[in-house]
């Protein structure tokens, strides 16, 4: 699962705050931190 899939899942489940936190973290951390 990559970053965009995580965001889509969070938004689809209505967890917008979680998606916003991931987007914020994505700007401050290497992208590979989000590869699960």
Query: Three-state DSSP class for 18?
Result: helix
Of all residues in the chain, the percent with pLDDT exceeding 70 is 72
Contacts of 11 (CB under 8 A, 6+ apart): 19
> What is the reported pLDDT for 12?
83
pLDDT-derived band at 34, boundaries 50, 70, 90: low
Of residues 10 and 32, the one with the higher pLDDT is 10
**Mean predicted confidence (pLDDT) in 23-31:** 69
Return mean pLDDT, the chain: 72
CA–CA separation, 26 and 20 (whole Å)? 10
Contact in structure between 19 and 10 (CB atoms under 8 Å): yes
> What is the reported pLDDT for 29?
62
> What is the reported pLDDT for 33?
58
């Amino acid at each position: 699962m990559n970053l965009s899939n995580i965001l889509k899942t969070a938004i689809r489940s209505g967890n917008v705050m979680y998606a916003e936190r991931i987007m914020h973290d994505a700007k401050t951390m290497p992208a590979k931190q989000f590869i699960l």
